[in-house]
Amino acid sequence: MTIGGLTGGYFNGYGAGFGMGMPAVGGAQSAADSKPVVNPGEDTRVAPGKKSSPAECQTCKERKYQDGSNESDVSFQTAQHIDPNVAGARVRAHEQEHVRNAYEKEEKGEGKVLQASVQIHTAVCPECGRTYVSGGLTTTKIAYPNENDNSYAKRRKQMDAAFLPGMNFDAAV
């Protein structure tokens, strides 16, 4: 279950992010060089090699997020923009909805949750250089009680039985 394109804070991987008290290379921009502020409250300095600052970044302003799963009872079924300052929390909450659904199946007796994990992904905006939360992925493993009655599971076991015995060959030299 993936949500793509969520924005968040920024970090350059070396212990300091631009916009955290570090001056931009090349000095300050003049008022004539700056673009209109589309992300109020963000840093107005342009990072070296980037087209705009986080405050002026049109890409970050237009970033939308949508769930890619087949679960219709979770958030982000339609594409929507999220405030960059709360995107990380919103992605974590969304992915937790998928985990909750797995445990609800277990409570109803529909299966047993063997494993549930959440990954939060980040990326770097190509326009302004901000590192942001770009999405998340929930992985669940559920054992269903009727697996032995399932024709697909039976066929898989037959195929495994045909190939797996030969996988344990050990010869002395």
Rounded average pLDDT over 31-42: 69
Of the two residues 69 and 1, the one the predictor is more confident about is 69
As a whole number, the mean pLDDT across the chain is 76
Alpha carbon 25 to its chain's center: 31
Is the pTM for the entire model greater than 0.75? Answer: no
> For residue 160, which phi and psi values (nearest 5 degrees)?
-60, -40
Share of the chain above pLDDT 90, in %: 34
Q: Is the pLDDT of residue 28 over 80?
A: no
Q: What pLDDT sits at residue 9? A: 37
How many angstroms separate the CA atoms of 154 and 48, rounded? Answer: 59
Highest mean pLDDT among 43-47, 101-105, 125-129, 160-164: 101-105
20 has a pLDDT exceeding 80? no
Candidate ranges 51-55, 150-154, 165-169; pick with highest mean pLDDT: 51-55
Rounded distance, CA 71 to CA 94, Å?
12
DSSP 79-136: -B---TTTHHHHHHHHHHHHHHHHHHHHHTTS-EEEEEEEEEEEEE-TTT--EEEEEE
Provide the pLDDT confidence category of residue 13 given band limits of 50, 70 and 90.
very low
In this prediction, residue 156 has a pLDDT band, given cuts at 50, 70 and 90, of confident
Cα separation, 161 vs 16, whole angstroms = 55
State residue 168's pLDDT score.
58
Task: Give the Å distances, CA to CA, from 126 to 67, 91, 102, 123, 162.
Answer: 23, 21, 36, 9, 50
Residue 135 pLDDT class (50, 70, 90 cuts)? very high
Q: What's the CA gap between 119 and 148, in Å, rounded?
A: 31
pLDDT value at residue 15? 33
92-129, pLDDT tens digit by residue?
999 999 999 999 999 998 889 999 999 999 999 899 88
